[in-house]
Structure 1
Amino acid sequence: MNAVTLRQLEYFLAVADLGSVTAAARRCHVSPGGISLALTELETSLGAQLMLRRKAKGAALTPAGHWVADRARSIVADADELQFAAQRLQGELVGPLKIGCFGSLSPWLLPRIIEHFARKHPAVDIELTEGSSDLLQQMLLDGELDIGLMYSLHINTEMEQTTIAPVRLQLLLSPDHPLAAQKEIALRDLGDSPAALLGLQPARDLAENQLRNAGFEPHIKWRSTNVETIRSLVARGLAYSVLMGRPLGDRTYEGLPLAYRRIKDDLPDNAVVAAHPRGTTPSQKVRALLNYCQDEFTRDRSPVQ
């Protein structure tokens, strides 16, 4: 029997996953003929038909093919892990790093994190999940994420927290708003003006409760999960908002100006944090992420302060 190669198994699994020699060829960056030859050689080596290949109908696994596919996945995964182990012995960070990030923080944090790892740790494969803090915390507890970036006030589960940067809620107005002439504004002065608030949880409830704690019932006219939608509504004079982030330039995607003002009311302390389930030990990749974030964003006065 001729030796079975890892390359043959990888090509075979690509066809098994995608159901098509042509699609597998695109994934593996080889010609369809190269995929077909590898499959033929594999079947010859094993003495069994692994796939039914039909023109215009793709490829389907035979019972023997299903059996081989299960074992091939384990073999390929072990080979990958062996490669990772060799790199680890040389002191290199390798493998997947699954990062979750609260949606409104993503544009400020993730590009710089990804660039840092691409330059300093190119063998790390960063996988991103963006969403609400509630979703991210559940994914952390389920073992689907290595680390979650969110606001400390959003955390409602048993999480270890590493502070990345302190933040404070800010009032966002159109420059033409009557209150925009003031440097510091009490929330109650907003009265029944229409508001546009972030719809992601738990940010939504926290913002609304903060407004109510100021002694008035806010007139919430719009909610959106997209911060730029909110900023654009405010810039057009249609509403005010309360937000944590402040991108450079104080302008919307359309180029319209915005006015950020300090809130006079007492506000609870808040911070951007990196969270992971209590009792778990951060990996070397996670520790490298934490070290970078604390160095980069603690001294960064523009996006999150």
Structure 2
Amino acid sequence: MRISFRQLEYLVAVADAGSITGAAAVCGASQAGVSLSLSDLEKRLGVQLLIRQKAKGVKLTAAGARVVAEGRRLVEAAEELQASAAAAEHEVSGTLGIGCYTSLSPFFIPPLLDEFAGRFPALEVHVLEGIADDLLAALRDGRCELALLYAEDCDAGLTMVPVRTSRPYLILAADHPLAVRDAIHLADIADEPLIMFDVPSARNAVRMLEAVGLTARVRHMSSNIEVVRGLVARGVGYSILVQRWPADLSFEGRPIACRSIADPVPERKVVLAWPDGIRLTRRAHTLIDFCCTTMESGSRLTHTD
């Protein structure tokens, strides 16, 4: 049995495009050529990789998904080898896939696509935004080489490097009576309405109150951070966040007071994660260096969401 590298490229392209037609266009091959090559691959491996659906593209079988994950790593390794051979000694090139947790995106994606990518013109940076489960799946099947996540969202099969450590904090209207304090105990504000940022990383607010014997009075939940901040600025309630916004103003321009929590609260760690046992590319190591030096220092964002 001997399979070709081109067959693996076709299979990965089909998995990404969702159809043989789309894969053929990406690979610059004919539809018939891709179809015949994949049929031969299935024959050589002795398993069905694709379920072909008329007018609905193709669907991977369980075996197909496993082969795609391994094939993707081989394709990327070959690209890394080619890029390393062609690049100058100081140059970082090729394609780097990065996952980023949704609520971290406003803080990490702009510098990644601007400052980091700008340092390496020969490097093509792609960022996938999503919730933790989606990013973990992307790491496992090779769509991302690294992902920016919260440490508590990572499973046992990942290696992690800490990028930023943050502490939850309170936001309330600037004219709130408690705003004169530098730090506020949760018991002093728990009876007031809670405006909850409705993303998994911020739902710890309720558990944080419960941990000290308090009950949250949720007034409104929103997955839009500006809605949360806007309601707080208007005095409708308070909120507990992790990520510190660079300006203490709502979308409407109303002032917001950001205050420390006087109670002991668990810190949150943002990490770069990748699957155990994977040999990182030079591109990935460059990103780790960038995040651990530039993203932690040189910004007001010492708190995170």
CA contact (8 A) 1:170 1:262 kept: yes
The alpha-carbon deviation at position 166 of structure 1 amounts to: 1.7
Alignment of 1:136-215 (within 5 A): 136-204=135-203, 206-215=204-213
- Taking the aligned partners of 1:178 and 1:155, their CA distance within structure 2 comes to 39
SS of residue paired to 1:231 = helix
Q: 1:202 to 1:192 in 2, by over 3 A?
A: same
Give me the identity figure in percent: 31
CA contact (8 A) 2:202 2:242 kept: no
| Residue aligning to 1:226 | 224
SS of the residue aligned with 2:213? coil
Note the alpha carbon deviations across 1:265-286, whole angstroms, 9 max, x for none. Answer: 1112322211112232322111
Q: Find the residue that maps to 1:289 and give its secondary structure.
A: helix
Q: 1:278 aligns with which of 252, 276, 279?
A: 276
Paired with 1:145 and 1:245, the residues of 2 have a C-alpha distance of 24
Structure 1 residues 158, 208: closer, same or farther in 2, change over 3 A?
farther
Judging changes above 3 Å, is the alpha-carbon distance between structure 1 residues 228 and 156 closer, same or farther for their aligned structure 2 residues?
A: farther
Distance of aligned partners of 1:193 and 1:161 in 2 relative to their CA distance in 1, 3 Å threshold? same
> Which residue of the other structure, out of 258, 263, 266, is the alignment partner of 1:265?
263
Deviations along 1:96-130, one digit per CA (max 9) or x if unpaired, are: 21111122211111111222233221222211111
Alpha-carbon offset, residue 91 of structure 1: 4.5
Question: What is the Cα-based RMSD across aligned positions, in Å?
Answer: 3.3
The alignment of Structure 1 onto Structure 2 pairs a total of residues equal to: 250
Q: Distance in 1 between matches of 2:100 and 2:130?
A: 7
Partner of 1:121: 120
The runs of 5 or more residues in structure 2 that have no matched partner are: 1-20, 41-74
1:163 CA displacement: 1.3
Per the normalisation by structure 1, the TM-score is 0.70
- 2:243 counterpart letter in structure 1: G
1:65 offset after TM fit, Å?
Answer: 8.5
In the TM superposition, what are the counterparts of 1:20-169 in structure 2 within 5 Å?
A: 63=32, 67=36, 81=79, 84-88=83-87, 90-169=89-168
Q: What amino acid sits opposite 1:173 in the alignment?
A: L
Q: Structure 1: 5+ residue runs without aligned partners?
A: 1-15, 28-38, 43-49, 51-60, 72-76
Over 3 Å counting, the alpha-carbon distance change for 1:65 and 1:157 in structure 2 is closer
Distance in 2 separating the partners of 1:283 and 1:230:
40
Q: Which has the larger radius of gyration?
A: 1
